[in-house]
Structure 1
Amino acid sequence: MNDQSKVSNWCVVSMASIPLVMTLGNSMLIPVLPIFEKKVGISSFQTSMIITSYSIASIFLIPIAGYLSDRFGRKMVILPSLVFSLIGGLIAGYASWKMSDPFLWIIIGRVLQGIGAAGAAPIILPLVGDLYKDDDEKTSSCLGIIETSNTFGKVLSPILGAAFAAFLWFLPFFSISFFSLISILLVIFFIKVPKKKDTPMELKEFIQKTKGIFKEHGKWIFTVFTIGAYVMLVLFGILFYLSDSFEKIHHLYGVKKGFVLAIPLLALCIASYISGKNIKGNVKIMKGIILGCLAILTLCVPFVGFLRDQLVFLLCLTGFIGIAIGALLPTLDALITENIEKEERGTISSLYSSSRFIGVAAGPPLVSLVMKNGLNVSFIGAGLFAVIIIALVMFWIHTNEKKKPQPAEGSS
């Protein structure tokens, strides 16, 4: 247990800063997308691409970053990624400030930030597992803090984004670079990664072992990946929908709109913290939380579109959705991190992060396409899809014992 005593509070703060910064880098722009639409002269679908371009870059690069982190070390991947995020913010901000038609350069900057996100936030999950070794309870608790930092970023995002944009509409882009710089300094000085005692696996051996994991445990891993994509699609779809509705229907603008948008996200943040504190590496508790949260989503998501004109009821309903998603996220993190061997942890958790980014990328453009026609049907369909996932959880996530993947045949 000596290694665990070396995990200082500042190390935890430094790790938590990374998902916080990456979340601000994406979610902070959601409340100001209508402003971008007016200032840059683009359509609602094009504004949604400001979010989606960031996420698409992450989807494809996260698995590569995971493998590189397994082979060369977590910190060696995290730091350059944060630099990419810093540079991307500067490019998007400068283009918005100085160019008459900045949309293309904004997208380029966002893609660079997505590359940064691919190699930063997802690597934190296996890093936590490395630092706490086989102590599942401490791992779960730390993952709860990490996921709470992520969700707290979502709470701060609409408020900070609206406040920055009220001063200068393109300031949110520059602020992302500033936050990335702070995180870079914290990582350099406070994260002490355990030294690798074993020789890193060659690519061929690594692929063999990864295939062995999916062959042995592919069903429950696929289920967790599906839940991750689904909840982020629902979350970012609803946030995009709320951001648009608050201005066009309820006439909420600027910081006031940011505070109202933060209400369901605050519920998400609190639920994430409580869930992370209480799962304690117990698969039975994790499965119960997953089933309960998916049941809430099944009951609540279909009614989001019908309450468009009822602000108080809409906030209450999306608050319940926030609680369900908030409780799910650290549970899914722990299920992946605690049941995958250290050598493959970076790649498997990165593939899981990729699945989450699929939902982030798909949510805003899908909602922008169905906003005028088919909104209610889309939310009903999203709610019913949770029933299918509940069936997958019932059949494919087992609680009788905690199993860890075995190496594939022929690997050493």
Structure 2
Amino acid sequence: MTPSEKQSSQQNTGILVIVTLSTVPLIMVLGNSMLIPVLPTIQSSLHISQLQVSLLITLFSIPAGVVIPLAGILSDRFGRKKVIAPALLLYGAGGVISGLSALWTGGGYWLMLTGRILQGIGAAGTAPIAMALVSDLYKKDERSRALGIIEAANGMGKVVSPILGSLIALLSWVAIFFAFPVLCIPAALAVWFLIKEPKQEKEPPPLSQYRDQLLKTWKRQGRWLLVAFLAGALTLFILFGVLFYLSDFLEKRYGLDGVLKGLVLAIPLLAMSSVSYWAGSHIDQKTRLMKRLIIIGLLAIAAGMGIVPFVTNTYLLIGLLVLIGIGSGLILPCLNTMITSAVASEERGIVTSLYGSVRFLGVALGPPTFGALSAMKTGLFLGNAAAAGLTALLALWFIRQPERLRGKGGQSRILIRKNRLRQV
């Protein structure tokens, strides 16, 4: 093989790897977003309340949020692929159970929830572990771009999923659940066979030592990590809560249903996905820029949420939701890069997974909260606007750690520079 052929082969392998890894968060996000446009249809078909139908979202996200730290520990100790591939298969199996429950029992709500819980447990081992694997595979100069692509894939999943869910629902809303194994099985095989996971430079420490290392990391960086976790959870809490509110609003006020409603729901999500890709391509390892974009994003969300209660024009309402989507797109890739790059590789799985947990909990709590408090629209939106503004102030005050991003092997940037100087 000539040098040019070898280089071409490496580039193709690199493209296959990032495409494969991008499918993992894309499939994960389908678990909730694909159902959002058909939730009113499911509610009427099963004769259940708005709170009960929102549990199809909540009981996917809460188990995921609870199990993610365990998935992170397992991935640190046994490898990322050994967690991601089985998790995708479990995710697909849960979809089969939820779909069969509707076919066999004429709408078995409780068995359907059981399938959603299993899907949530499977989802715990997907996107958060894929983020850790990206950080293992890519050097610091390439990592932010790769993580931006991953977040953009996550956002693109949110864009495509309302449309895809609406299209599949033209056959039957039950068919949506059977789409999961069709997507998950090829993705699991691709992760297993196409990605060559790097060997860990150090043996995983005993669990007691692992806990001590994690506590040291948290003592050293806990304050800004807490603010970063809060920013990620709040962003997704607001985003999914607003999407749930908008889905119900479009159907009740305009009778909008099916693909047309899916297209409208995709507008703010497309804004988020596009901005996520742009941010990931420009932030590199510039933590001051990341901090700035996080604050701007939170203020954009605060502004959008603060104005929504006083708007009656639907086009202006969608414009404000686009503003919220833009704010989310600025925040999430910056948080991904800062959090995954702030710790050593042997701790990356658990720290990234803890971050994934709070993201899932934000997604889980958004729809039922907005559904339960929809009658108090003004207080609901203004309260979230205030929360976003306060989080922006906390980010301004506490996120001030430009020296703590780490390279591929987990060394801090300062330590890398010192080592280079010693070699000279």
Same-fold call, TM cutoff 0.5: yes
Deviations 1:27-74 (Å, cap 9, x if unpaired)?
A: 100110000001111110001000000001011100000011000000
Measured after TM superposition, the shift of residue 186 of structure 1 is: 1.4
Q: Which residue of 2 aligns with 1:73?
A: 79
Q: Which residue of 1 aligns with 2:386?
A: 384
Runs (4+) off by over 4 Å: 4-7, 403-407
Q: Which residue of 2 aligns with 1:410?
A: none
Find the aligned partners of 1:76 and 1:194 in 2 and give their Cα distance: 13
Q: Which residue of 1 aligns with 2:246?
A: 242
Q: Which residue of 1 aligns with 2:354?
A: 351
The yes-or-no answer on 1:160 pairing with 2:175 is no
Q: Which residue of 2 aligns with 1:279?
A: 283
8 Å contact kept, 1:58–1:114 = yes
Q: Which residue of 2 aligns with 1:262?
A: 266
**Identity among equivalent pairs (%):** 41
Q: Which residue of 1 aligns with 2:367?
A: 364
8 Å contact kept, 2:340–2:348 = yes
8 Å contact kept, 2:374–2:380 = no
8 Å contact kept, 1:237–1:367 = yes
Q: Which residue of 1 aligns with 2:326?
A: 323
Aligned counterpart for 1:311 among listed residues 303, 314, 318? 314
Aligned counterpart for 1:394 among listed residues 388, 393, 396? 396
Find the aligned partners of 2:203 and 2:217 in 1 and give their Cα distance: 20
Relative to 1, partners in 2 of residues 1:81 and 1:288: Cα closer, same or farther, differing over 3 Å? same
The yes-or-no answer on 1:222 pairing with 2:223 is no
Measured after TM superposition, the shift of residue 206 of structure 1 is: 0.3
| Aligned pairs (5 A) from 1:172-251 | 172-251=176-255
The yes-or-no answer on 1:148 pairing with 2:141 is no
8 Å contact kept, 2:131–2:147 = yes
Find the aligned partners of 1:213 and 1:63 in 2 and give their Cα distance: 16
Q: Which residue of 1 aligns with 2:415?
A: none
SS at the partner of 1:167? Answer: coil
Find the aligned partners of 2:141 and 2:241 in 1 and give their Cα distance: 33
SS at the partner of 1:252? Answer: coil
Count of residue pairs the alignment pairs up: 401
Q: Which runs of 5+ in 2 are unaligned?
A: 1-6, 413-424
Deviates most, 296-305 or 243-252: 296-305
Counterpart of 1:262 in structure 2: which amino acid?
Answer: A
Find the aligned partners of 2:112 and 2:300 in 1 and give their Cα distance: 37
Measured after TM superposition, the shift of residue 197 of structure 1 is: 3.6
Counterpart of 1:74 in structure 2: which amino acid?
Answer: R
Find the aligned partners of 1:399 and 1:342 in 2 and give their Cα distance: 18
Q: Which residue of 2 aligns with 1:341?
A: 344
Relative to 1, partners in 2 of residues 1:403 and 1:263: Cα closer, same or farther, differing over 3 Å? closer
Q: Which residue of 1 aligns with 2:294?
A: 290
Q: Which residue of 1 aligns with 2:19?
A: 13
Find the aligned partners of 1:381 and 1:174 in 2 and give their Cα distance: 38
Counterpart of 1:292 in structure 2: which amino acid?
Answer: I
SS at the partner of 1:220? Answer: helix
Deviates most, 376-385 or 91-100: 91-100
Q: Which residue of 1 aligns with 2:418?
A: none
SS at the partner of 2:254? Answer: coil
Counterpart of 1:376 in structure 2: which amino acid?
Answer: T
Deviations 1:152-208 (Å, cap 9, x if unpaired)?
A: 000001100011112112111111121111211211221110123421111001000
Find the aligned partners of 1:400 and 1:166 in 2 and give their Cα distance: 50
The yes-or-no answer on 1:32 pairing with 2:38 is yes
When the two chains are superposed, the root-mean-square deviation of aligned CA atoms in Å is 1.7
Find the aligned partners of 1:96 and 1:111 in 2 and give their Cα distance: 16
Measured after TM superposition, the shift of residue 100 of structure 1 is: 2.5
8 Å contact kept, 1:370–1:378 = yes
8 Å contact kept, 1:95–1:106 = yes
Deviations 1:339-379 (Å, cap 9, x if unpaired)?
A: 1110100000000000111110100000111112x121111
Counterpart of 1:215 in structure 2: which amino acid?
Answer: K
